[in-house]
Structure 1
Amino acid sequence: MVDAVWWKHGIVYQIYPRSFQDGSGDGIGDLSGIRQRLDHPEWLGVDAIWISPIYPSPMADFGYDVADYCEIDPVFGSLDEFDLLVAEAHARGLKVILDFVPNHSSDQHPWFRESRASRANPKRNWYIWRDPAPDGGPPNNWLANFGGSAWTLDEHTGQYYHHAFLPEQPDLNWRNPEVRRAMHDALRFWLDRGVDGFRVDVIWHLIKDAQFRDNPPNPAWQPHNAGIDRLLQVHSADQPEIHAVVAEMRAVLDAYPDRVLIGEIYLPLERLVAYYGAEMEGAHLPFNFQLIFADWTAPAIAKLIAEYEAALPAEGWPNWVLGNHDQKRIATRIGAAQARIAAMLLLTLRGTPTLYYGDEIGMENVAIPADRVQDPWERREPGRGLGRDPARTPMPWDGSRHGGFTTGEPWLPLSPDFAQRNVARLAEDPQSILTLYRDLIALRRAQVALRAGVHVPISAEGDVLVYERHDAASGSRLRIALNFGEETRRLDIGPAQLLLSTALDRAGHVDEVVLRPAEGVILAPIAARRAT
């Protein structure tokens, strides 16, 4: 049963720790700050918090360059503070999910320092080293995700090491059983401390082509796209052997009760769903990012949902994501009005939703002055709009100085409208987007059809998307109608109870629904209403 598995019926809330709450006054969010703000996810009604990397790191990529997999960076606190956070979260009924970054470490990790010391070092094969090409250049044409070659020459040993991201992030060699054992031990270290699961960073990158063949050119590449898109990553990622690696990782978690393995995977649907594993021994939730890149129209969203549902293996549980620390804010992508539609879509589709901090208050991307840019991607490819800082700005909690985020100077600037758009103010507004999120989450908890029911497409005509959620066991049926357009639309569904509108200004018995521009509604048809 879906309701017996917390990560199936639950809602995941992503916290970018540098920007959630600063408890020390240094302008950077930390574990103490997260603990201080646990009231918020509890009040909102989510089930789990996912915390982006908090491991020791030189911060070349803000924690995604790990120097120790079994410690806490002092900027975020200590292991004692982490244990206290887990205990207090659990006491509130909140699960704790950690980011895990196994594809690459920091170049300051002791493993890599040993690996680059000499070709004969016992840890040499813990990373990916290759001789130069005949002309002395890189071993092949692979590109780094943040620009430039994916190979850096180590002058001392005369070989190149591979890095899918920054040179400061050398890729580990997951073909080496010693690496796998070490990383499994790291997982157990956190599982033993009570962590409820992991979101695994770039999981599809872990295995590379054994022959290190060149990647082919991408015929669809355009000069305005990121440099990495010039080539198709046919040989540098998503190799057939990866599924055995993911199955081993899953086995580590399966030795502990009620844990979840989430995989970050930016791949087409037919390749994404393979990460569930042939026998469902892969990731519990291979992240589905389709909504992030979809055309925001009713027909496009309906097609996307249908294709995803059709591609899922029989036992595969779906999941949906509107945004994260690497993508533009949903309110920036589609506008403030449609962001309310997006909230209703996210929380009424079948599967596990993940909510990015700040989206519940309608946060938008913040323009970052050139002298405040932090993101290494923007620094390496300036002026291309690739920087992720605008979606990582501090959470505004109230209208006080720095939005209540810090008593110091925030590491990134807050949104200029934080005095109006903040948690305290919007929580008191019965028609705010924050209230909408809370009401949607409460309705989802109350209605078994939303938590566990099947998805039934109805129509996607013009600007209006209509679908239903059915739960056979209880007989409950709900209809969701979303107006993606700027014109009023009439919907004749017969007698129904209007349970919730994105405008939060009406409810009750209706015989037809007049959908206003950018309005969504959840309806319980009278003939099918039963207690849940």
Structure 2
Amino acid sequence: MTRSRQDEKWWHRATAYQVYPRSFADSNGDGVGDIPGIVSKLGHLSDLGIGFIWLSPVFTSPMVDNGYDISDYRDIASEFGTLADMDHLIAEARARDIGIVMDLVVNHSSSLHEWFKAARVTRDCREHDYYIWRDPAPDGGPPDAASAAFGGPAWTYVEEVGQYYYHHFSPAQPDLNWQNPALREEIYDMMRWWLDRGIAGFRMDVISLIGKDVDAGLYEEGPDLHKFLQEMHREVLDGRDIVTIGESWSVSPETGLLYCGRDRGELDMVFEFSHIREGWHPERGKFAPKPFDLRGFKRALFDWQDLTESDGWHALFLSNHDLPRQVSFYADDGAHRVAAAKMLATVLHLLRGTPFIYQGEEIGMTNARFERIDQYRDLETLNHFEEQIALGVDPAEFIAGANRNSRDNARTPMQWSDGAHGGFTSGTPWLEANANAPIINVEGDKADPGGIFSHYRKLIALRREHDIVTHGRTEPLLPDDPAIFAYRRVQEETCAVVIANFTGEPCDVCMPEAVCGAGDALIASHEPRAAIEPMMTLAPYESFAVLIRGG
């Protein structure tokens, strides 16, 4: 049984837009994006048709990990503005029917949080138990050999208390001890405080880590994860008209509905990364990417369409602040960039779920292609560079991998115009702007009726206007074809057929007879098509959708 309007939530028809504040818009010329800068660009997002903004962290932070190391959950980092600026953003966005969804980073805090500063001085304070501490091993070393995700050991010794603390990421990001009820109530109270200020919900950073059991070596989806999420829902989320999105690098179709099943009392949807991992080396990870395999990519996406057909909900995305620019990674950021960007948008936005646009995606921004390691700012990239070079990896080989997969590819400044630094700042940007900003920018793309922005705006409108896009079931077509991404959405006697050529060459397609027929052209990256024919030839990166009634 598929969904209908009866159980529809406001976010089922909404399209989300992720703002990475540091790189979005700088209002004061200090080279860092800020909240007043975001306010100044709300017209752009309203024109696009955005329903809510996922705002990456703007909380007070020493910025070791660009805000994902929070030292005060109830205040705003000075480089981004003030709490009054944040309230102004919430109000101005709401006036345009745009909600603000904040990033909830509660697996860990900053080592400069007042809690941790107290915790590292003495064991005899309540804050000490807000973190995960263990005594040294018999030889005085760490309790175990666990490694941190950003490189190095996962345990750091503090002489004052004679113990090691656990950090899944960097030593500047000590993990919070969710086993402590007092710590959980501190978090819930903070969440209620922000919701009462008028935000539209939370995106929950690496939330699958909060139930960990470090002694058993269980980190992702640990034994108490869902117990804590259900408690959070009861104590904070229940009864509020908001949206919650969890991030999990371990969730699978087997565990997905534990997070977002309608009767679970946990979250509304979850970011899962099976389709992203399809492009990674199975052993060496993201900095050693493997050739793109469309068949595996389709399987990963369609598995989640099957999973959420009648329960749960899917967060649809190809890029974010941690991932490369999608047109560079999946398609062609050269001669076919415009068609390729439209194609990627078409296949994603016409699936069932809530699409997330990462800033700049709507104009086809590309990877940075830096030449030297000193051009990077990302902590993960810099740490892994040191590790890989020590292991004998050629620096040029590492840079090639980073140019494909480093997080800084997504973090170069938003390209608003053909002016200096892409119109992002009047000063010196914290991270170099992409060299192609004079060619690829908002002003230029929006001036083109056939541009990428226009295509995104049409897709967003289709989701709002057509029940079949929001609620229809998804049926894969040609699942084993290595070049064609095709599917149909079905609702009662109507279907929408989506076809895309994922290659830079003309491609002949033989369509199943059952889906052929004439209909209404919904959207196209090239010339509109009003029929699905048994035999078709698609141009490089061509994509289109046809609505067939009574089929």
Identify whether the pair has TM-score above 0.5, normalized to the shorter chain: yes
Q: Any residues of structure 2 matched to 1:470-509 within 5 Å, and which?
A: 470-472=490-492, 475-485=493-503, 486-490=505-509, 493-503=516-526, 505-508=527-530
CA distance in 2, matches of 1:174, 1:313: 33
Contact kept, 8 Å, 2:246 with 2:269, in 1: the verdict is yes
Sort the Cα spacing of 1:151 and 1:272 in 2 relative to 1 into closer, same or farther, 3 A. Answer: farther
Match of 2:461 in 1: 442
Unmatched 5+ residue regions in structure 2? Answer: 280-291, 386-394
CA distance in 2, matches of 1:257, 1:110: 30
CA distance in 1, matches of 2:91, 2:377: 33
CA distance in 2, matches of 1:65, 1:360: 29
Match of 2:379 in 1: 376
Report the CA distance between 1:507 and its aligned residue.
4.7
Contact kept, 8 Å, 1:209 with 1:239, in 2: the verdict is yes
How many percent identity over aligned positions?
38
Match of 2:325 in 1: 329
CA distance in 1, matches of 2:169, 2:95: 38
Moved more, 162-171 or 120-129: 120-129
CA distance in 2, matches of 1:343, 1:248: 37
Q: What do the CA deviations read for 1:148-180 (whole angstroms, capped 9, x no partner)? A: 110000011110001111101111100000000
Report the CA distance between 1:87 and its aligned residue.
0.6
Question: What TM-score do you get using the length of structure 1 for normalisation?
Answer: 0.90
Report the CA distance between 1:351 and its aligned residue.
0.9
> For 2:250, which of 247, 267, 282 is the aligned residue?
267
Contact kept, 8 Å, 2:213 with 2:223, in 1: the verdict is no
CA distance in 1, matches of 2:167, 2:130: 13
> For 1:241, which of 224, 240, 247 is the aligned residue?
224
Match of 1:105 in 2: 109
Moved more, 484-493 or 53-62: 484-493
Match of 2:312 in 1: 316
Q: Any residues of structure 2 matched to 1:211-230 within 5 Å, and which?
A: 212-213=215-216, 215=217
Report the CA distance between 1:461 and its aligned residue.
5.2
Contact kept, 8 Å, 1:10 with 1:46, in 2: the verdict is yes
The amino acid that maps onto 1:350 is R
Question: What TM-score do you get using the length of structure 2 for normalisation?
Answer: 0.87
The amino acid that maps onto 2:547 is A
Contact kept, 8 Å, 1:104 with 1:172, in 2: the verdict is yes
> For 2:484, which of 464, 471, 477 is the aligned residue?
464
Contact kept, 8 Å, 2:373 with 2:382, in 1: the verdict is no
Q: Any residues of structure 2 matched to 1:9-408 within 5 Å, and which?
A: 9-209=13-213, 212-213=215-216, 215=217, 235-269=218-252, 270-276=254-260, 279-294=263-278, 296-312=292-308, 314-334=310-330, 335-336=332-333, 337=336, 338-368=340-370, 369-382=372-385, 383=395, 384=398, 385=402, 387-408=406-427
SS in 2 for 1:460: coil
Unmatched 5+ residue regions in structure 1? Answer: 216-234
Moved more, 383-392 or 145-154: 383-392
| Divergent runs of 4+, >4 A | 295-298, 507-513
Sort the Cα spacing of 1:311 and 1:519 in 2 relative to 1 into closer, same or farther, 3 A. Answer: same
CA RMSD between the two structures: 2.1
Report the CA distance between 1:312 and its aligned residue.
4.1
Report the CA distance between 1:256 and its aligned residue.
4.7
Report the CA distance between 1:8 and its aligned residue.
1.6
Contact kept, 8 Å, 2:377 with 2:408, in 1: the verdict is yes
CA distance in 2, matches of 1:111, 1:277: 34
- Alignment: residue pair count: 504
Sort the Cα spacing of 1:276 and 1:407 in 2 relative to 1 into closer, same or farther, 3 A. Answer: same
Report the CA distance between 1:273 and its aligned residue.
3.8
> For 2:470, which of 438, 447, 451 is the aligned residue?
451
Contact kept, 8 Å, 2:305 with 2:352, in 1: the verdict is no
CA distance in 2, matches of 1:408, 1:431: 32
CA distance in 2, matches of 1:253, 1:178: 15
CA distance in 1, matches of 2:19, 2:103: 10
SS in 1 for 2:479: strand
Match of 1:229 in 2: none
> For 1:7, which of 2, 11, 35 is the aligned residue?
11
Moved more, 8-17 or 484-493: 484-493
CA distance in 1, matches of 2:430, 2:86: 22
Contact kept, 8 Å, 2:528 with 2:544, in 1: the verdict is no
CA distance in 1, matches of 2:83, 2:374: 34
Report the CA distance between 1:490 and its aligned residue.
4.3
Q: What do the CA deviations read for 1:38-92 (whole angstroms, capped 9, x no partner)? A: 0111111121101000000011111111011111111111111111111110110
CA distance in 1, matches of 2:126, 2:83: 30
Q: What do the CA deviations read for 1:462-509 (whole angstroms, capped 9, x no partner)? A: 32232111233xx43211111223233245622233222122x33556
